[in-house]
Structure 1
Amino acid sequence: MGTKNRVHLWVLIVTAFSCTVTVQGQQKKPNIVLLFSDDAGYYDFGFQGNSGFPTPYLDAFANESVELDQFYVTAAVCGPSRAGLLTGMYQQRFGYEENNVPGIMSASGLTGDEMGLPVGLNTIADYLKPLGYRSMVIGKWHMGNADRFHPLDRGFDEFYGFRGGARSFWPLDEDQKASRPEDRMERGFGEFEEPERYLTDVFADEACRFIRDNKDHPFFLYLSFNAVHTPLEAKEEDLAMIEGLSGKRKKMAAMTLAMDRACGQVLNQLKELGLDENTLVVFTNDNGGPTDASAANNYPLSGTKANHLEGGIRVPCLVRYPAGLSGRSSYSFPTSTLDLLPTFYAAAGGDPKVLEGSDGVNLLPYLSGEIAERPHDKLFWKKENRGAIRKGDWKLLRFPDRPAELYNIRQDEREEKNLAYDHPDMVRKLYKELFEWELSLERPLWQLKREYEGKAMERMDRYRTHYPEK
């Protein structure tokens, strides 16, 4: 072989080796998928013990995952919960009180389309972009209707969904689009296109398309379902699959079945492309189920969406990451959606210490057993005069119309035995620590009319221990 041929062969070998190293290096950086349901009941999944709500794909996923038994959201309603999730910060710290946008607000503060996730705050997508990730949000945004709050200006590379908080699962007619423009389905920025099929199915197809398009480099997919939020609309073929239920519960179960199928489609797409072993997938929900609106069942927890009882703020959570965590197991210390940003950032190769203002922790060393202590000493919740603090196994609830209540959640997760009169020193201690945390917060940028606080207390009392048919 001549010298030129040998040199040429050597260049080919070196080039091939370099490409292999590059590809292998890319493969080591995991993809990240967040499957996020909307207003689901704590009990309303097969893997949560409810045989009347068939979720075969999520059940199989649970058998390969770490199940977080005490996983909390930062708010008991949709929008603020998402604000805490996306920023990794208590949303009250930047004035995003526990009220949805736009909503029925008081005359003071921001109103209408002026309300949204404050511009200038970084999101998960903002942080992952410099680490080489392409990001997409599919589905419900609910972080403000104005253009300046748009996902493409909040770090995401792609968007297919709607800006508002709830809409029909079927195509909107012209009157619906005119009356609620934030409900229109939008691709990218300003390109509106109504799907011709059931929305949950469309979201699954779009998620799989994004995965295929980005299979060769790291991606972050935020699949933000509007299922199973009202309106309760299900496909006839899914309703036919539900036995033993009627009314709202039957519709809820059918909608959950469709969402489960969508999750399965995404998980199968990862597997077909050989990406599942190196993809961090989380499934969770935005807040407790609204028993009054949709007959969601939060058994065995007390309370519902919009209050700080366990049923309003504690949600199912499954984490699967074959490259970094062992399979079927559970984790029992309190964790939070605040932890998802630092966990994703660490998995992507970043140092969570650089995350500005983060209130969460990287859960990977805790879930793997590398760190044995609790991830959080304290967790907080606040909506106007109402508030709650979880410290260790103790939880204090503060109300505007009655004395504070105290529970030991480890011994009494249903919050049935109020221990406030037995442990007055603990009440004073936690009350003070909750107030000290509140002193670090911004004033709310908007608030509901005061009359709605009274309705919130009435709702809490009515559905405190009410469980629909299973």
Structure 2
Amino acid sequence: MRRVLIWAGVGMLLSAPGAAGQESPPRPNLLLIFVDDLGYGDLSVHGCREIETPHIDRLARSGLRCTQGYVCSPYCSPSRAGLLTGRYPTRFGHEFNPHVGEEGKLGLPLSEKTLADSLRSAGYATACIGKWHLGFARPYHPQNRGFDFFYGFLVGAHNFRLKKEAKPLFRTSQSENMIYRGEQVEPTEGFLTDLLTEEAIRFIEQHKNRPWFVYLSYNAVHTPLEVPDGLEKRLSRPIEDPQRRAYLLLLLNLDDAIGRLQAYLAKAGLDRKTLVIFLSDNGGSGQKPYLAYNAARNDPLRGYKGQVLEGGIRVPFFWVWPGVLPAGQTYDRPIISLDILPTACHLAGVPVPANADGVNLWPYLRGEKAGDPHEALYWRFGPQKAIRQGDWMLVDWRDFSKRTNSGWELYHLGRDPGQKQNLAAHEAERVRQMAQKWQEWDRHNIAPLWRGGATEDPEGNKKPGK
């Protein structure tokens, strides 16, 4: 696979922004596709052989596929909090999922500014479509956090098969038939992935004559594993595990949705005016019986959703802007979801918040700047912690089946991406230095504003900070 090189031949459009005598790229539309619990190894572009995902593969080949792309948390809500603020969620106490029972006071802290706030200030039409999971009460509602339009659901999971006559349920982690348009529940029926795609296309069509930002937050392929109609025949081989089969059918439906979006953008003449970013909120949940098990596979990575091993935090991550970013190449330096906000702000011509932890990736993605965008990347999730520095990853991860932590383990990801050979005993000084660096970073975090469940945080029964 080709790596990103310094490249030329596409004219002044690709000149360095702000350089004397040169023009910046026009402000792009932004389609941010955030999928849910997708296994790293479940895309055919990543080597899956059980199914083909042609539309997601084509999206990856249309731009840069980031082979070392991370999210800031291995869990749903904090990952979203970091994505939309450009800050490590542990900076502001959003370490775990908020709980419906305390909806009046839990959610993305109101002190935090979102990407939607920044882009709306620059004249963008902004929409949040799909899963929110950043608070349930009115102050935390998407339309009070920078979004002009909201269509979706507020909690952590939702059924896919919607029926108008069904009795709505509202539980701690999942709702049924509770789709909101704005602040009102709208009775509807259909398959949710398809409905979210239709709403995204409708919003873009209505605002195609001005810059727009669509945060399309699919709940696929999170549980419940409700099977869409008519897709079973497309499985190329029998899948004996019923959960695995249902998961793959949900993924095929998601792939079709990505194809519809690509076709619409091309037909509307918007594909060359739009930056599309595709990633998952965390790794696949392939470990029974914890953390919304969906039978995903993170091959060749080790670990799952909820763990700070590679399988929990390293995700499919693509950047696509035809004619502006190179196509069919990989970017192989470590990046993180926090980088999306500063990069988007740069392209929109608005100031990057001074407290952002992310980096403007634009010169790196275009090959104008070499080296790692980050000196190091960090994670904290309850008792779990990790730091990546260059090719080295130091990690203290949680084994949920044993309810114990590993203690510091050291891996060289360049030689061992599957984290099979723990080198901590042979690299004691490196372990000491990296652990100290993680501790220095952690001093700038705060205690969780609320506690998680037992599988998120084994001290969940204790008060914050205790």
Q: TM-score range by the shorter chain?
A: 0.7 to 0.9
Alignment pair present for 1:131 and 2:118: no
Amino acid paired to 1:294: N
1:83 to 81, 84, 87: 81
> Which secondary structure does the structure 2 equivalent of 1:324 belong to?
coil
Whole-Å separation in 1 of the counterparts to 2:63 and 2:171: 43
Amino acid paired to 2:274: T
The residue that corresponds to 1:225 in the other structure is 218
Alignment pair present for 1:170 and 2:167: no
Q: Deviations over 1:371-391 (max 9, x none)?
A: 011101110000222210111
Q: Deviations over 1:56-104 (max 9, x none)?
A: 111111221100000000000111000000000000000111x212179
Q: How does 1:166-245 map to 2 (within 5 A)?
A: 166-171=157-162, 174-177=166-169, 184-189=178-183, 191-244=184-237, 245=239
Whole-Å separation in 1 of the counterparts to 2:179 and 2:69: 31
Q: How does 1:273-422 map to 2 (within 5 A)?
A: 273-291=268-286, 292=288, 293-352=293-352, 355-399=353-397, 401-422=405-426
The residue that corresponds to 2:20 in the other structure is none
Task: Report if the CA contact (8 A) 2:451-2:457 is conserved.
Answer: no
**Cα distance change on mapping 1:407 and 1:132 into 2, 3 Å:** same
The residue that corresponds to 1:11 in the other structure is none
The residue that corresponds to 2:261 in the other structure is 266
Shift of 1:356: 3.1
Amino acid paired to 1:263: I
Whole-Å separation in 1 of the counterparts to 2:405 and 2:341: 36
**Cα distance change on mapping 1:33 and 1:92 into 2, 3 Å:** same
Task: Report if the CA contact (8 A) 1:54-1:253 is conserved.
Answer: no
Q: Deviations over 1:180-220 (max 9, x none)?
A: 7965100012x211321100011111111011101100000
Q: Which deviates the most, 192-201 or 217-226? A: 192-201
Whole-Å separation in 1 of the counterparts to 2:406 and 2:333: 30
Alignment pair present for 1:249 and 2:244: yes
> Which secondary structure does the structure 1 equivalent of 2:150 belong to?
strand
Alignment pair present for 1:58 and 2:56: yes
Task: Report if the CA contact (8 A) 2:158-2:175 is conserved.
Answer: no
More helix by share: 1
Shift of 1:427: 0.7
Shift of 1:55: 1.3
The residue that corresponds to 1:446 in the other structure is 450
2:146 to 155, 166, 170: 155
Q: Deviations over 1:273-307 (max 9, x none)?
A: 11101110011100010003111000000000000
Amino acid paired to 2:189: E
Q: TM-score, normalised by structure 1?
A: 0.86
- Give the number of the structure whose alpha-carbon radius of gyration is greater: 1
Structure 2 portions without partners, runs of 5+: 1-22, 398-403, 461-466
Shift of 1:349: 2.2
Amino acid paired to 2:227: A
**Cα distance change on mapping 1:401 and 1:258 into 2, 3 Å:** closer
Whole-Å separation in 1 of the counterparts to 2:326 and 2:454: 48
Whole-Å separation in 1 of the counterparts to 2:454 and 2:131: 28
Task: Report if the CA contact (8 A) 1:141-1:224 is conserved.
Answer: yes
Whole-Å separation in 2 of the counterparts to 1:160 and 1:401: 40
Shift of 1:113: 4.3
Whole-Å separation in 2 of the counterparts to 1:235 and 1:116: 32
**Cα distance change on mapping 1:153 and 1:228 into 2, 3 Å:** same
Amino acid paired to 1:325: L
> Which secondary structure does the structure 2 equivalent of 1:43 belong to?
helix
Amino acid paired to 1:79: S
Whole-Å separation in 2 of the counterparts to 1:72 and 1:243: 31
Shift of 1:251: 0.9
Task: Report if the CA contact (8 A) 1:340-1:362 is conserved.
Answer: yes
Whole-Å separation in 1 of the counterparts to 2:115 and 2:256: 26
Structure 1 portions without partners, runs of 5+: 1-24, 105-110, 457-470
Whole-Å separation in 2 of the counterparts to 1:206 and 1:229: 20
Amino acid paired to 1:324: V
Shift of 1:350: 2.7
Whole-Å separation in 1 of the counterparts to 2:99 and 2:170: 17
The residue that corresponds to 2:6 in the other structure is none
Shift of 1:408: 0.8
Shift of 1:324: 2.6
**Cα distance change on mapping 1:217 and 1:413 into 2, 3 Å:** same
Task: Report if the CA contact (8 A) 1:200-1:258 is conserved.
Answer: yes
Task: Report if the CA contact (8 A) 2:100-2:171 is conserved.
Answer: no
Whole-Å separation in 1 of the counterparts to 2:382 and 2:117: 30
**Cα distance change on mapping 1:358 and 1:179 into 2, 3 Å:** closer
Whole-Å separation in 1 of the counterparts to 2:321 and 2:445: 35
Amino acid paired to 2:413: I
Whole-Å separation in 2 of the counterparts to 1:449 and 1:297: 24
Amino acid paired to 2:445: L
Amino acid paired to 2:306: A
Task: Report if the CA contact (8 A) 1:211-1:270 is conserved.
Answer: no
Q: Aligned residues, how many?
A: 422
Whole-Å separation in 1 of the counterparts to 2:345 and 2:49: 36
Q: Which runs of 4+ in 1 moved over 6 A?
A: none
1:101 to 98, 101, 110: 98
